[in-house]
Structure 1
Amino acid sequence: MKTCLILDDYQDAARHFADWDRLRDRVAVTALRETITDPDALVARIGAAEILVIMRERTPFPAALLARLPRLELLVTSGMRNAAIDLAAAERQGVTVCGTASHPAPPAELTWALILALARRVVPESAALRAGGPWQSSVGTDLAGARLGIVGLGKIGTRIARVARAFDMEVAAWSPNLTDARAAAAGVRRAPSKEALLAESDVVTLHLVLSEATRGIIGAEDLARMKPSSFLVNTARAGLVDQAALVRALAENRIAGAGLDVFETEPLPTDSPFRTLPNVLALPHLGYVSEANYRTYFAEAVEDIEAWLGGAPVRVLG
């Protein structure tokens, strides 16, 4: 019988969103809730498993780790893209890597939760009310008539644009390869440059795939171009933004605030300034965490394992 471990199951949710009993006679399945960051402890805990199911990039699988897992045969990740897996090393080692579908609606919805909460000061006003503080202590920012700048107009960015129009916002988009035709198809204006988009927007939201080309695409000079009254929202990947520059911009109030769902190190270290800066609304990477996505991730993980056991793996990455 094969051994399967589900890693980083923070909410103890994996067993509730799929029928793992379908594997009962062939695979022993165990879910692990804790995150193990020490490489030696991680190898000791997962080294005996032939099958691993992982969630996004919660635990990276570089070549060095894969080399210490000689028993590993199948690695299943949520989504069809995971930059934290060394696919070439997995292939050399004979490890099959499979993925699952992922829905764009949940991260788009969370992006709007952050935008609305920042604009209307939802968190500080709610905290003051609960603490018996002043009744109304801030003045909200209007979205109607404001300018939304979308960096990356893919599936998620297009959804963001559709909602923005319902709020009567002016919407522009930019990405390195965005064309006028694609922007027009999404009902938005293509900004002539990244610099122009940042300078004119009241809210900037990021929806690019992280790659060598896009890493650090928002740097110190870019943040300096933003309005002091503007908000930056990032539910994509932390590496898109120079994190040290963002901390400085927020600490010096050079932008009004940031809504962040992604960080370079996750879980976020306890001493991170993003935990304490008063103009930051930070969430623990919840963009993809929804019932619909979890049902898809884990149900298709079971399907991936079944197909692999049958000798015909599906949704293979690489």
Structure 2
Amino acid sequence: MKILCANWQAADEAELEREHYPDIEFILARSTNEKAATLDPTICGSVDAVINYSPTHIVAAAPTAFPRARIAVRSGVGFDNIDTAGWGARKIPACNVPDYGTTEVADHAIGLMLALTRGTSAYGTELSGNGPEGWHFSKAPLVRRHKGATFGIVGLGRIGLATARRAAAFDMKVVFHDPHLLSGVDLSTGYERVNSLAELMARADVVSVHTPLSEETRKVLGAAAFAAAKPGLVLINTARGPIVDLDALEAAMRKDRVAGAGLDVLPNEPGDLDHPLLAAWRRREPWIANRLIVTPHAAFYSPASMRDLRLKSIEVVHAYLAEGRLNNCVNAEYLK
């Protein structure tokens, strides 16, 4: 069994994978922040499976370049950068790894909320930058009480549900919007379903984004959503950058419609640091000071989650090729 590990990200040479799957031949193709890994056509023609390890780059060859491949996997939860239709046209399953890093992302989402709404980020910044002048509780502009506040979730999947449980532990009222969940989820979870994104925005004090990226969700957090928002909203995005329209977010923050935002993901990574919103944040312009936190697409990360991800990625391939057992297929509509 031969697996192409496209856009390989780890610094090592897949020692973990080779230890657990000694009978598999792993071919590593490394990428950079700027571009996807270049692939040798000869190698493409010889592999039984393709795994894409990059959260941002696609595989630098079309599915047709892999005549022997029988499965493709995105090593991660999001599958917007795997050609589900292209693989499906060849009746080849494309899969993801949805069951790793769930607790890490949920913790990170709550951590971003707390950093903004309890001032833990602002206080440190003010003290390190201004010394004794920064020693005052008023330096954090977004501090508020969590008990009784409303926590809104866009997308109540594994991570959304884990985040909801954490918010509820802070005595927050949890509401969610997810048109793809069957009726009754609100009854089974105890969280309140709302029927539109506009209603969620109007009611929530904090909105946390946990929906996959698709054409339906691209820029769904845009001008219309922010116009409907409850004044003083805090937005958290640990899902996918393009779900939030940065231009609309900047406008909403300048108008104080959105009080603050914690962004672990950006529409383009890491190039969006030059976007006007982020440029203002980097310059610490007064209007945005202590209202925005940006982290480098790191919500998923811990040493334990990376181990899980790496082994589960291979497990999906091995289960299908060795046992005929298909897990986590995301293009089933093309395989019928």
Shorter-chain TM-score range: 0.7 to 0.9
Q: Which residue in 2 is equivalent to 1:293? A: 305
Q: Which residue in 1 is equivalent to 2:113? A: 115
1:237 partnered with 2:240: yes
Q: Aligned letter for 1:224? A: A
Q: Are the aligned partners of 1:147 and 1:171 in contact in 2 as well (CA < 8 Å)?
A: yes
Report Cα offsets for 1:213-251 as digits up to 9, x if no partner.
333332212202223322111112233333321122224
1:102 partnered with 2:99: yes
How many angstroms does 1:98 deviate by? 4.8
Q: Which residue in 2 is equivalent to 1:129? A: 127
| In 2, Cα distance between equivalents of 1:187 and 1:81 | 27
Q: Which residue in 2 is equivalent to 1:147? A: 150
| In 2, Cα distance between equivalents of 1:226 and 1:47 | 53
Q: Which residue in 1 is equivalent to 2:74? A: 77
Task: State, as a whole percentage, how many aligned pairs show the same letter.
Answer: 29
Report Cα offsets for 1:186-229 as digits up to 9, x if no partner.
22223354323212221111222333333333221220222332
> Which stretch shows the higher mean deviation, 195-204 or 286-295?
286-295
Q: Which runs of 5+ in 2 are unaligned?
A: 282-287, 332-336
Q: Aligned letter for 1:12? A: A
Q: Are the aligned partners of 2:179 and 2:195 in contact in 1 as well (CA < 8 Å)?
A: no
How many angstroms does 1:84 deviate by? 1.6
Q: Which residue in 2 is equivalent to 1:66? A: 62
Aligned residue among 265, 272, 277 for 2:275: 272
SS of 2:207's partner is strand
Q: Aligned letter for 1:296? A: D
Aligned residue among 137, 140, 157 for 1:138: 140
Equivalent pairs, count: 311
Q: CA 1:76 to 1:178, structure 2 compared with 1: closer, same or farther past 3 Å? A: closer
Normalised by the length of structure 1, the TM-score is: 0.80
| In 2, Cα distance between equivalents of 1:160 and 1:201 | 15
Q: Aligned letter for 1:167? A: F
SS of 2:51's partner is strand
Q: Are the aligned partners of 1:150 and 1:173 in contact in 2 as well (CA < 8 Å)?
A: yes
Q: Aligned letter for 1:43? A: T
Q: Which runs of 5+ in 1 are unaligned?
A: none
SS of 2:272's partner is coil
> Which stretch shows the higher mean deviation, 123-132 or 175-184?
175-184
> Which stretch shows the higher mean deviation, 264-273 or 102-111?
264-273
SS of 1:281's partner is strand
1:249 partnered with 2:252: yes
Q: Aligned letter for 1:60? A: I
Aligned residue among 206, 210, 225 for 1:222: 225
Q: Are the aligned partners of 2:112 and 2:293 in contact in 1 as well (CA < 8 Å)?
A: yes
Report Cα offsets for 1:17-49 as digits up to 9, x if no partner.
x342455675254363623427xxx43578745
Aligned residue among 39, 43, 61 for 2:38: 43
> What CA RMSD, in Å, does the superposition of the two structures yield over aligned residues?
3.4
Q: CA 1:268 to 1:112, structure 2 compared with 1: closer, same or farther past 3 Å? A: farther
Q: Which residue in 2 is equivalent to 1:195? A: 198
Q: CA 1:163 to 1:2, structure 2 compared with 1: closer, same or farther past 3 Å? A: closer
Q: CA 1:240 to 1:58, structure 2 compared with 1: closer, same or farther past 3 Å? A: closer
